[in-house]
Structure 1
Amino acid sequence: MPFHPPSWVPQLPFDPPDSIPISDFMLDENHGRHPLGYAQNPFTCGLTGKTYSSLEVKERVDYLARGLAKELGFHPNKGSEWDKVIAVFSVNTLDTIPLAWATHRLGGIQTPANAAYSAAELEYQLKNSNAKALFTCVPLLETAREAAKKCNIPDNRIYILEVPEKFAGKPTPEGMKTVDDFIRDGQKLDRLEPLKWEAGDGAKKTAFLCYSSGTSGLPKGVMISHRNVIANTLQINTFEKPNRDKMINDLRNQTDYTENVLGLLPMSHIYGLVVISHASIYRGDGVIVLPKFEFTATLQAIQDHKIGSLFLVPPIIILMTKNTKVLAQYDLSSVWSIFTGAAPLGQESAEELQKIFPTWKIRQGYGLTETCTVVTSSSPDDIWFGSSGSLLPGIECKIVTVEGNEVTGYDQPGELLVKSPAVVLGYLNNDKANTETFQDGYMRTGDEAVVRKAPSGNEHVFIVDRIKELIKVQGHQVAPAELEAHLLAHPAVNDCAVIQIPNEKTGEVPKAFVVKSPSIGLEENDRVIAREIQKHVENHKARYKWISGGIEFVDEIPKSPSGKILRRLLRDREKEKRRKAGSKL
């Protein structure tokens, strides 16, 4: 039977519009967003305090779109969105999202790349997306140039998103064009003609091309439509409305409530991109932007900007629980809520944090790139530690067993399938993955879940295991297949498999099982060989993809008759080994 949101969750106020770009939805007041003139400043630098008002951001987006149109030859109503793909390889900046909106104003696509990528990983995304230009930041410029060169993106098509100089360590190289340069150019240019979209175009046209490993395999371009982002923004804010209304009522003589939220998580990740950078701005909140995570700098920003809601991932929460003396040095009294996602937060960790901050509402959500973010969320008035909360409005799900039977009751595990207007268009140029993942109007998540009835009487979703092979390191996705392909290039590796193992700091880390090449003699030291193999990964992959869980040499890799690696057997074996060793992880 399909599961639906609890009865207390309001219905969407209107159908997510399908004939406008995200830029119109976010920058006009015609679609329910918080009035521009009375909102918090949308983006403020958490390090320097530099900021722009909502009206200034709207103006900057307009001028930036004009400047991009002239520089790149992009016309709002000529060519498809695939002729106007702009890649962004940068830490968070004040202009990352305005750049996306300016690209959308031209009918184009932004493809955000993880700032931790190596040149080879960035090259893969640039080629796969067929990006026409690349925006980066000074700290990542050399990596960007190396990748762009191999993709035939010339130096004069690499542009700069500015970060505070004290973070960058050096100024923008002379002669390189910045977002501010585009805006100055745009001020002198004629107004762009409006996008001439028909009904349904917003649901068919790709706005963001984010890269995800999906349920398995190498990273794939996820085609996220304008309507997908609009729908999830509406779903999140409709779900939050009863609590926001209550907060207004609690504040005497006020008819409105807005706050500052923490903009620490990468805007290249779907969590930072939609939940923080779109849903928050739409409801009038301000995002305090930080380029990277540094514990004390984050605490300082919370204190300085009186941040109310913290959007975090479990490893940061665990770090907080283990550093109470550091926390005590900062005034965190403005915080009332934390929201965690990207990986499950254990009940024990939540309880530990609650002991430190008894008044905080510790909330958890669940979503994927393929669902354009949030599927379930905890209401501040209905928190159940370990749960991922209740379904958002406009979403239905069902749970299907391995045998293909639909679950009809509580506490019966199976794969979670999701139907929502925010479920994406599919994977770019990958029919096989599309057929496996998107079926009969539902998205197969690859996650094992159960539905349980909370003490409140509301249905909650618990993610109990992952059927898919994905590894989550500090919220980042790591595809075993990608690491296995790389390991097999090492002369000492004859066969291999990679699985996830728990880690207190990062949630999970990759561990490799390796069958040594016959050329490796018995006299050679296993520890030395293992270290050489690890260095092989470290020299070519982002840090979060390193084989931090170690390398174990085995005689053979378990496989099915068709040759598919049976990673589940390795995970079960590893779990039993930890159990015998008395590990709590």
Structure 2
Amino acid sequence: MIFHPPSWIPKLPFDPPSTTLIGEFWSKERYGRQSIARSRNPFVCGVTGKTYTTSEMRERYELLARSLSKRMGWRVNEDTPWDKVVCVYSFNSIDYIMSTFATHRLNGIATPANAAYSPSELEFQLQSSGAKAVITCVPLLDTALKAAKAVGIAPDRIFIMQTAGPSGDGKLSYKTLDELIDEGRSLPPLESPAWTTGQGARQVAYISYSSGTSGLPKGVMISHRNVIANIMQLRWFESVGRGQKGVETQVSLGVLPLSHIYGLIVVALSGIYRGDEIVILPRFELKSLLECIQRFKINQLSLVPPIIIQLLQNQSLCRKYDLSSVRYVYTGAAPLGTETHEEVVRSFPGWQVGQGYGMTETATVVLSSGENDILVGAAGSLVSGCVAKIIATDTGRPIEVTGQEDGEEEKRGELLLQSPSISLGYLNNERATAEAFVWDEDGRWIRTGDVAVVRRSKAGHQHFAIVDRIKELIKVKGHQVAPAELEAHLLTHPFVNDCAVIPVPDERAGEVPKAFVVKTPAAAAEGRSDEEIAQAICKHVEDHKAHYKWLKGGVAFLDVVPKSPSGKILRRLLRDKEREERRIKGSKL
């Protein structure tokens, strides 16, 4: 059985163009964007108030592209896109999206990197993506320099993006984006990309890193048309609910990392295409967020569940600010529980809460809640141009869900999807790409690794609820953590003979990693207590990994890690064991 978007969702007015750069698509009204005359400034710094108009932003990325072309020796049409890969490793900035558009203008590829990365993690992404230059910010410069040196990127190929906050002592020997833009004013215009028919559907725009359904982080190749398609899908999906409330343009919050696919496409790119103003905060801090809402009269908050929980836990602080401008709270990256959803509505009268669902591999949203049709506890309905099916996790056969019998719509299975936004696959990893997709008589489907059920809203429209995960990812505050990555690192510690990592519930982060370790004889020989050994293992992770990958769930010791005959770690058995122990202790899962 194939599911289609509900009838209330408008069809896309035209096919997503496949010969257009993302920046050109955003800036030209002929591609369906909000009238520039009625649009707000695309980005505003939530700390300083600095902003640029639509025309100024376009000029800035055009001039930056000219300067990068001269400094890097890059030619628009003579070099391949893979010769022009730029890593953007920075906290949020009003110039973040502009810098990726400049890279695209050169026929290049942008690879956003998580600002929480350690030098070794950034090094991995630089090496994997083939990055030739790095755009970073002052607070992250030391990490960027270490990683760049390790992969052979010269210091003169590292550039500084201005972000709100510390800016150094003013004696940096690295060119800032503003200096490059000034240089670009004296340089001749660049030639236009000579794209052939359909090139936008084939050419990579962003390499974003994801663990997919399992394994170590992999570069997801996202084409220009993939991004454009999702921008269009979101814009027309949301047009109904916004239209009913008389909302043409609005002020939205941009606190989520723009390096994350949610912040990049859903918040930033889709928002500015609709003519909205995105108020950018460099990173999340509750008081700054509340001050920002009050100062800029923000209408929509795009958040993740851990931030929502912090709002609920700090209501006395929230009451000190005027939050009356907020109309809609949109949440994704992890499911929002029914109880939490209902508590938000009770605690913040006037706020409406909706969820969305997507993956890096689907670039991004495939399920969404419209302001006109919300089902508490569900991720939403299919967006226009997207179809789905649910297959049994044991047989792989499609599950028939008609809704004609009581309880029939609670049949569970893995969610499979088709959409013009679905990415090209994984960079230099044909095996992982092959595992992520399946073919049948209805075409090519991406496997989500998530278990879904179909439910109906009061209006009778189908919504999908994500109720479990087949895939092994751990989601910490919306960040993806691959158990295999942590396990590989733990095995380098002299006290670890074997190990497995699973997610455990955490009230603030949603989930956190917990390690199950088989100790080496050396650990016992030193006469250390289990507590001391656990502390040493945790420090080993903290010294080398981003903070969200730390073993906040703790370390437990086993005699043997459960494995299948083929050697695959049976994490499911460990999760079941952990769940039962928490149930006995009365812990809330």
Shorter-chain TM range is: over 0.9
How far is 1:36 from its partner? Answer: 2.1
Aligned-partner residue type, residue 563 of structure 1: G
CA distance in 2, matches of 1:183, 1:172: 18
CA distance in 2, matches of 1:31, 1:383: 29
Identity across matched positions, percent: 55
SS of residue matched to 1:177: coil
Question: 1:520 maps to what in 2?
Answer: 523
CA distance in 1, matches of 2:176, 2:167: 17
Matched-pair contact (CA < 8 Å) for 2:240–2:372: no
Question: 1:546 maps to what in 2?
Answer: 550
Question: 1:584 maps to what in 2?
Answer: 588
Aligned counterparts, 1:7-18, within 5 A = 7-18=7-18
SS of residue matched to 2:508: coil
SS of residue matched to 1:521: helix
CA distance in 2, matches of 1:235, 1:366: 13
Aligned counterparts, 1:41-440, within 5 A = 41-164=41-164, 167-168=165-166, 170-248=168-246, 257-402=248-393, 403-409=395-401, 410-440=409-439
SS of residue matched to 1:299: helix
How far is 1:439 from its partner? Answer: 2.0
Aligned-partner residue type, residue 23 of structure 2: S
SS of residue matched to 2:67: helix
Matched-pair contact (CA < 8 Å) for 1:511–1:547: yes
Matched-pair contact (CA < 8 Å) for 1:37–1:55: no
CA distance in 2, matches of 1:35, 1:381: 24
Matched-pair contact (CA < 8 Å) for 1:160–1:172: no
CA distance in 2, matches of 1:236, 1:8: 14
Matched-pair contact (CA < 8 Å) for 1:398–1:418: yes
Deviates more, 1:383-392 or 1:114-123: 383-392
SS of residue matched to 2:454: strand
Aligned-partner residue type, residue 116 of structure 1: A
CA distance in 2, matches of 1:456, 1:583: 36
CA distance in 1, matches of 2:46, 2:437: 40
CA distance in 1, matches of 2:197, 2:321: 51
Aligned-partner residue type, residue 220 of structure 2: V
Matched-pair contact (CA < 8 Å) for 1:160–1:176: yes
CA distance in 2, matches of 1:161, 1:169: 10
SS of residue matched to 1:30: helix
CA distance in 2, matches of 1:78, 1:30: 29
How far is 1:520 from its partner? Answer: 2.6
Matched-pair contact (CA < 8 Å) for 2:262–2:364: yes
How far is 1:80 from its partner? Answer: 1.6
Aligned-partner residue type, residue 415 of structure 1: E
Aligned-partner residue type, residue 287 of structure 1: I
Matched-pair contact (CA < 8 Å) for 1:138–1:172: no
Matched-pair contact (CA < 8 Å) for 1:86–1:110: yes
CA distance in 1, matches of 2:171, 2:330: 38
CA distance in 1, matches of 2:23, 2:167: 33
CA distance in 2, matches of 1:243, 1:400: 31
* 1:326-353 C-alpha deviation (Å, 9 max, x unpaired): 0000011110000000111111111111
How far is 1:429 from its partner? Answer: 0.5
* 1:417-451 C-alpha deviation (Å, 9 max, x unpaired): 11000000000000110110022211101111111
* 1:269-291 C-alpha deviation (Å, 9 max, x unpaired): 00000001111000000110000
Is residue 508 of structure 1 aligned with residue 508 of structure 2?
no
Question: 2:406 maps to what in 1?
Answer: none
SS of residue matched to 2:31: coil
SS of residue matched to 1:300: helix
Aligned-partner residue type, residue 530 of structure 2: D
Matched-pair contact (CA < 8 Å) for 2:515–2:551: yes
SS of residue matched to 2:220: strand
Aligned-partner residue type, residue 432 of structure 1: R
* 1:113-168 C-alpha deviation (Å, 9 max, x unpaired): 0000000000000011111100100000001101101010111111100112xx12
How far is 1:455 from its partner? Answer: 2.3
Matched-pair contact (CA < 8 Å) for 1:488–1:494: yes
Matched-pair contact (CA < 8 Å) for 2:231–2:273: yes
Question: 1:497 maps to what in 2?
Answer: 500
Matched-pair contact (CA < 8 Å) for 2:523–2:533: no
| Cα 1:119–1:172 shift into 2, 3 Å | farther
How far is 1:361 from its partner? Answer: 1.1
SS of residue matched to 2:292: helix
Matched-pair contact (CA < 8 Å) for 1:138–1:171: no
Question: 1:481 maps to what in 2?
Answer: 484
Matched-pair contact (CA < 8 Å) for 1:339–1:363: yes
CA distance in 2, matches of 1:316, 1:241: 26
CA distance in 2, matches of 1:405, 1:131: 41
Matched-pair contact (CA < 8 Å) for 1:396–1:419: yes
CA distance in 2, matches of 1:188, 1:169: 27
Unaligned segments of structure 2, at least 5 residues: 402-408
How far is 1:171 from its partner? Answer: 4.2
* 1:296-335 C-alpha deviation (Å, 9 max, x unpaired): 1010011101110000000010011111110000011110
Matched-pair contact (CA < 8 Å) for 1:64–1:186: yes
* RMSD, aligned CA: 1.0
CA distance in 2, matches of 1:99, 1:385: 38
Question: 1:574 maps to what in 2?
Answer: 578
CA distance in 2, matches of 1:497, 1:30: 53
